[in-house]
Structure 1
């Protein structure tokens, strides 16, 4: 009966051959005696090379350490329990370091390695076991931690599975670092190529105009069109309204050619968005360059996104209308220069989007692999994964 209850709690139907099911308190070593809370004020006077961990990562570096080796950490509290698929719940810490009193410390035993604990619970939803501290905060106390169910393969297989999954972690981390580097370069290019202050003799010749001076001449601007219940038929055309995401989808469009939308109301009134596909423009302003490049217009407004947001007015229901944007001053070069700049920025943006798709593919693959490997549906042969001893 006890075994069946643990299987149910662990959300698995059977114990794989050669594995066992247990509880953390019986098979793992909880070493909370190695934790030490150190205030920010005190840490500032003992800065050094040794990491000081909190429940979700390194908080500081100090000149002393209490732990030396390999340990798993899992938070006592925090918002990481809310989205376990997106945020890791565990950390595998190695070397010499410190831990504050908001994370539980797990050491290896002869049946469960710290690495296996960290791998098994990294993205596992355990909210059913936790107590609440407010609407968006959970707490994992030691007594609850001890009762958590855990599947245990033999130690060599634990190591093999963790090694396999770590290759996906490495690929994800590498891709996300590339994304960060590309995004940093994109922001730099955006400032350099579409600057509020000309920095070269070339763009010093650009004309500086108020956006309103282009309305009706080189830039077409119009209001969105409300979508009534009668005309709203479900389809695959996105409806652009007041937020940063699509409101819903319909089966016909108001615009077929590339356009820039600026959200008209709500918390994100002023959000600048580019669409090179059919849309239904609802609660938004729609802009399109008639004597210029619409994508360049988008990059110009996106570069000053903070200033567009600052145009919000209306109190409880903020809004930004086309009349509010008329006094925005922008640089408006010749069409050929607009085209060249838009191409450069679009290429970098495309590279970022491809990397984001790749990272998401890796994450999807890893989730599927974890589901199979951590429940024993797929088995890892230690001699193949780790190499012959």
Structure 2
């Protein structure tokens, strides 16, 4: 038998130890659930405001100014699927259990507002829960674990009002709820400010890319006219196979070519012989299926990719960083899109499609100077990203302490 020490000022509950003046209750004790509105696509884009899945998924607090979805509804639908301040919403279905049952609370009244069938509305039965506190409480780690435990998964993760009603959470007295909400809101404001700084810096970088990678803006000391040549004069297609002992790589639009074990979530690994897979070397570029939407991908790793991909290697001396940025520029993506107009969805862009696209052929010295400017911008973005990550981790830790009663605030 394990004898557990009694913690002074705390009591043992289904959720573990919580302060004596807190209650261990279920969501169903305080909220009544309702499924949302489902309509055909022709009804969306005009009409009244609608709270969509993305709004609930992205935000723990919903404000009227951040709701952009519109839907055409009749009077009966408006009443049945109404929204009002303090309503709590949960994501109802998702491809993964990690995204199921994410909660967000409405902190503004939205005149004639309704909510989507992809979310659930939980309307308060009383005023015992401070609205802003609810937005934090139901996103806490301990409550998320309970929600995920009670969800179902077949082809998609799913939850409903009955499951959510049975989820337990720790409820402090109302004054402590307000204090906790105010404290965590301070972190939210800091995070929002940091996100705004990051977005502004990203826009500056995009402006630099558009100017520098098109030749519209020249760096000091460079006056030679820019030349454009077909890509086939600078890059060649390579196909090195029978190298099965290398690690498997994935081609992504946001992170370039990376090892598969760096991907989040479940990854389907190929079975059988890898001799047909192509070898990618560090510094190679890869043409992916969606290159005409997101540009070519650069690899910092040696490894294998599916034989469906086209692997590129430079023919002459170049600055790889320059072309890494250029292949992600609007100018290049537009040029590539023009070259593959009429391509059928699902058809791989070939080397022949790529090699006729005209790209800059400028001195390696100027390539390097431009790449240095953009590398500096990336380093500044990395600093801001790290600061943002630190703020989010601090908030996460604080939530874990405050929403379980392990740390108490003076109020």
Q: TM-score, normalised by structure 2?
A: 0.66
Shift of 1:329: 0.8
Structure 1: gaps (5+ residues): 1-5, 233-237, 383-389
Q: How many residues align?
A: 343
RMSD: 4.6
Q: Which residue of 1 aligns with 2:19?
A: 16
Shift of 1:323: 5.5
Q: Which residue of 1 aligns with 2:325?
A: 299
CA shift digits 1:87-110 (9 cap, x unpaired): 952134225545425442434845
CA shift digits 1:301-350 (9 cap, x unpaired): 222247668769x9999655655532221122223322222122222222
Residues 1:76 and 1:345: Cα distance change in structure 2 (over 3 Å): closer
CA contact under 8 A between 2:31 and 2:125: conserved in structure 1? yes
Match of 1:119 among 113, 123, 136: 136
CA contact under 8 A between 1:261 and 1:287: conserved in structure 2? yes
Q: Which residue of 1 aligns with 2:190?
A: 171
Distance 2:37 2:248 in 1: 53
The equivalences for 1:316-355 within 5 A come to 322=351, 325-355=354-384
The equivalences for 1:130-209 within 5 A come to 130=151, 135-141=155-161, 143-195=162-214, 199=216, 205-209=225-229
CA shift digits 1:160-216 (9 cap, x unpaired): 212222222223222233333333333333222223xx657988921110122234x
Shift of 1:22: 1.1
SS at match of 1:302: coil
Distance 1:225 1:214 in 2: 23
The equivalences for 1:358-373 within 5 A come to 358-373=387-402
Match of 1:90 among 73, 80, 104: 104
Distance 1:316 1:43 in 2: 26
CA contact under 8 A between 2:286 and 2:298: conserved in structure 1? no
Q: TM-score, normalised by structure 1?
A: 0.69
CA contact under 8 A between 1:161 and 1:380: conserved in structure 2? yes
Match of 1:213 among 207, 216, 233: 233
Shift of 1:239: 5.7
Q: Which residue of 2 aligns with 1:273?
A: 297
SS at match of 2:201: helix
SS at match of 1:282: strand
Shift of 1:370: 1.9
Distance 2:125 2:96 in 1: 23
